[in-house]
Amino acid sequence: MKLAIALVASTLSLTTLDARAAAPAGDAYSITVQFADLDLHRDAGIAELYLRIQGAARRVCAQQANDQLVAEQDRAGCVKRAVSTAVARIDRPLLSDYSAQRGGKPAKTSAASVAAR
């Protein structure tokens, strides 16, 4: 599973592309998560951003799973990877801590998996 996360100002775009699928490389699934309205210095803002990221990851991975007949466990892994990558990309210690408390850990980002636009 290839994941790409783009951070533009205070917009997060979750994009997934299943490398095993026969779909052309341009056929990726994405959802933009807005968070300019959140105060990321407060616990409530961090919690809301995490919920938005999780919701977006679930929707993106559900659409991909539906279109590509992906197994349920692969879909769950997609969600976990998308959330972890988004948390790492945003790179806010409070968000990373919040995610870690919920059993997730930020993914290590690399040029291949993260593209800033």
What are the domain boundaries of the chain? 2-101
Q: What is the mean pLDDT of residues 91-106?
A: 87
Going by pLDDT thresholds of 50, 70 and 90, the confidence category of residue 24 is very low
Look at residue 12 in the predicted model and tell me its pLDDT. 59
Confidence of residue 49 (pLDDT cuts 50, 70, 90): very high
Judged against a pLDDT cut of 60, whether residue 73 lies above it is answered with yes
- Average pLDDT rounded to a whole number, residues 111-117: 35
Of residues 19 and 36, more confidence is placed in 36
Would you state the pLDDT for residue 31?
A: 85
Measured in degrees and rounded to the nearest 5, phi and psi for residue 50 equal: -60, -45
Residues 117, 109: Cα–Cα separation, whole Å = 15
How many C-beta atoms surround the C-beta of residue 78 within 10 A?
23
Sign of the CA dihedral running 43, 40, 45, 103: negative
- CA-closest candidate to residue 15, choices 47, 56, 49: 56
pTM over 0.75: no
Provide mean pLDDT across the span 86-99: 93
